[in-house]
Structure 1
Amino acid sequence: MGERILDVKNLKINFHTYAGDVKAIRDVSFHLDKGETLAIVGESGSGKSVTTKSLMGLLANNAEVVGGSIMYRGEDLLKKTEKEMQEIRGKDIAMIFQDPMTSLDPTMKIGRQIAEPLMIHKNVDKKKAWAQALEILKLVGIANAEERINDYPHQFSGGQRQRIVIAIALVCYPEILIADEPTTALDVTIQAQILNLMKELQQKIETSIIFITHDLGVVAGMADRVAVMYAGQIIEYGTVDEIFYNPKHPYTWGLLNSMPTLSSTKLEAIPGTPPDLLDPPKGDPFAARNPYAMKIDAEKQPPFFKVSDTHYAATWLLHKDAPKITPPDEILRRQKIWQEMQAAAK
């Protein structure tokens, strides 16, 4: 157990729309320990980005937090004013967004964009801030940093721009770094470089990372713990090995089953679409797409069942009276590896 630096409890967020209130985040709780990486995984629209934007106080105008708390250093971020959040944003909690081009100012030299947070948050003078900007530019692997610091965003490639965005996020050495699909727009080799870079920098500056992605493959080498989100709720969470090799929720099975592996040539898609959150179902939100659904799934929302001290899943399949079912072959293959891992650990 590390030192806990962030604790989100029972977070509920609605979006007011012409059609009615969309219940986008429905009772989400998770925590983050010092120096660890928590991955939040789920399909588009599951609520990953909304959850993390609420940590930064960056929700859209039509969003309303209707319940819960976000405790950081003993204080509830939801109770802070915009001015107080501006103090925290960028300095203590920083964010890397999906598309680097929309995060960078096209009219400003990148050196100034990296130096600015230092001048604003840490009152560093211009000369020192530029020197630090140069250091971090080298740290994130931009070649010829001395010359490039005076270039504009359009003079860099996509991968380089993403490195610059990471440099801006890390220049104040934040305690928490939120990375929202930071590698989506990049090709696979650049993606691997960026992920390795984030891991390296994390060790150097002891930042805790919340990593948001729809791609479970990215998570394997990156995260310590994983929370799987579906329809505005967390439905399973555990250590990265527990989620990868001993998953318990049929939705997690579906996500893993749809990942390309060396042994499988056929990719399985999860049939159907997520429920409409204007009118969420009263039972398990995944019931309509779940091939193993039982009658109770349509009637009652499952609680979290404990698999281990670190692993919980919200599925009726874990109830002691539930019928025994056989998971898909890919999941059985993973569970076999899990058993071997457990045996080797003893």
Structure 2
Amino acid sequence: MLEVKDLHISFHTFAGEVQAIRGINFDLYEGETLAIVGESGSGKSVTTKSIMKLLPTSNSEIKKGEILFKDKDIVRSTEKEMQKIRGKDISMIFQDPMTSLNPTMTVGKQIMEPLLKHQRLGKNEAKKRALHLLELVGIPKPEVRMKQYPHQFSGGMRQRVVIAIALACAPKILIADEPTTALDVTIQGQILDLMKELQKQIETSIIFITHDLGVVANVADRVAVMYGGKIVEIGTVDEIFYNPQHPYTWGLISSMPSLDETEDELYVIPGSPPDLLNPPKGDAFAPRNAYAMKIDLEQEPPMFKISNTHYAATWLLHPDAPKVEPPADIQERMHMFAKGEI
């Protein structure tokens, strides 16, 4: 469905050039959910906004790379061409539904908008379809709700409306940028279940952005782990959770809360993410990596192949590197995942 090839994105600031994305590659397949995970500032949202061509034109620049959709390079698409793609072929759900919804328009009109623009439906047909979409996303009394404004809905209901708008034209790709972050745990579970159910019905491919690995385990088919503007590990959800290879992935898994009440505090990865105004020469994770070697400070590791679907960028996978097993607590976490305790 989508190919991202050697993508480099920079932001021009008063302090200098921030190299936010530094050469990432990934594919998205038909009907799958690809989760992109990592700390804040790792480049997750910048990557997905570039797919929609929603980065600010005033200070951002795609310096290199391709984003291929239907064999056409989005990087070189005009704004007019993108307006035909956004909402119809590729849709996006943002973190905060209140910033996505127009407070001055009824919810019904906002759901009808993409149907009128992209599907060329008549008003009556668009209204029927909007009612069906509200029912589909689990909003009761859709005839009444159609005439109401966003402020009359709860946070969870607003997010359901945003999902209805995003799915109105049955897009080929749905990008969900931390869609459950602002919601409580119960509503979060309902929204995730809803997205999985709707994905089956409209056969869309999903890119799911999150920093919550617990969410990833429940929704993803494959996982890409981002750090310092790069993908440092990618594989199926089972490979990432049961056989992680990158020390950064080990740290993310360690920092997850479990159902074990004996733990007094969560693990925290020491140090801070790299300054992308001056990206490090070698492996960006080296200063925070307890297993870093001399080469990590001098040379960036390539993506080493672990299986046909699993790759990781760490010198620990080089044939000449010392054999390092994941720490005992990581291995314990892997067993917890297997038993459903996380």
Calculate the TM-score normalised by the size of structure 1: 0.95
Paired residue secondary structure (2:169): coil
Is 2:120 the partner of 1:123?
A: yes
Equivalent runs, 1:150-169 vs 2, <5 Å: 150-169=147-166
CA contact (8 A) 1:180 1:212 kept: yes
Aligned twin of 1:280: 279
Distance 1:338 1:172 in 2: 36
Alpha-carbon separation, structure 1, partners of 2:338 and 2:180: 32
- 2:146 matched to 1:149? yes
**SS of 1:308's equivalent?**
coil
1:60 and 1:42 mapped to 2: Cα distance? 22
Letter of the 2:245 counterpart: K
Separation (CA, whole Å) in 2 of partners of 1:102 and 1:262: 34
Instruction: Give the whole-Å Cα distance in 1 for the aligned partners of 2:143 and 2:272.
Output: 50
RMSD after superposition: 1.4
Question: Counterpart in 2 of 1:206?
Answer: 203
Report the counterpart of residue 324 of structure 1 in structure 2.
323
The one of 36, 43, 63 equivalent to 1:47 is: 43
Q: What does residue 251 of structure 1 align with?
A: 248
Q: Which amino acid aligns with 1:52?
A: T
SS at match of 2:23: strand
- Counterpart-to-counterpart distance in 1, 2:135 and 2:337: 40
Q: Counterpart in 1 of 2:239?
A: 242
- 1:300-338 per-residue CA deviation (whole Å, 9 max, x = no partner) reads 000111111100000011111111224222322255689
SS of equivalent residue, structure 2 residue 196: helix
One-letter code of the match for 2:311? Y
Distance 1:195 1:215 in 2: 13
Report the Cα distance in structure 1 between the residues aligned to 2:129 and 2:320, rounded to whole angstroms: 60
In structure 1, what is the equivalent of residue 213 of structure 2? 216
- What is residue 181 of structure 2 aligned with on the other side? 184
Find the counterpart in structure 1 of residue 84 from structure 2: 87
Counterpart contact for 1:246–1:334, Cα < 8 Å: no
Report Cα offsets for 1:42-93 as digits up to 9, x if no partner.
Answer: 1111000000000001011210000000000111011110000000000000
1:230 corresponds to which letter in structure 2?
Y
Q: Which of these residues, 73, 78, 83, is aligned with residue 76 of structure 1? A: 73
Instruction: State the AA in 1 paired with 2:99.
Output: T
Name stretches of at least 5 consecutive residues in structure 2 with no aligned partner: none
Name the CA distance, whole Å, in 2 between partners of 1:233 and 1:105. 34
1:262 deviates by 2.6
Provide the rounded CA distance (Å) in 1 between the counterparts of 2:10 and 2:38.
19
1:182-202 Cα distance to aligned partner (Å, 9 max, x none): 000000010000000000000
Secondary structure of 1:220's partner?
A: helix
| Cα distance in 2 between the residues matched to 1:316 and 1:60 | 36
Amino acid across the alignment from 1:298:
L
Q: How far does residue 244 in structure 1 lie from its aligned partner after superposition?
A: 0.7
Distance of 2:214 and 2:286 partners within structure 1: 25
Instruction: Identify the residue that residue 25 of structure 2 maps to in structure 1.
Output: 29
Alpha-carbon contact 1:226-1:240 (below 8 Å) kept: yes
Report how many residues are paired: 336
Distance in 2 (CA, whole Å) between partners of 1:335 and 1:113 is 44
Give yes or no for the alignment of 1:60 onto 2:52: no
Map Cα deviations across residues 238-274 of structure 1 (whole Å, 9 max, x no partner). Answer: 0001001110000000000000123472410001110
Provide the rounded CA distance (Å) in 1 between the counterparts of 2:132 and 2:166: 14
User: What TM-score results when the alignment is normalised by the length of structure 2?
Assistant: 0.96
User: Aligned residue for 1:344?
Assistant: none
The residue identity in structure 2 corresponding to 1:325 is: V
Give ranges in structure 1 of 5+ residues lacking alignment.
341-346
Mean alpha-carbon deviation: is it higher for 265-274 or for 62-71?
Answer: 265-274
Aligned residue for 1:221, secondary structure, equals: helix
- Secondary structure of 2:143's partner? helix
* Separation in 2, partners of 1:149, 1:336: 47
Moved over 3 A (4+): 334-340
Kindly provide the amino acid, as one letter, of the partner of residue 190 in structure 2. Answer: Q
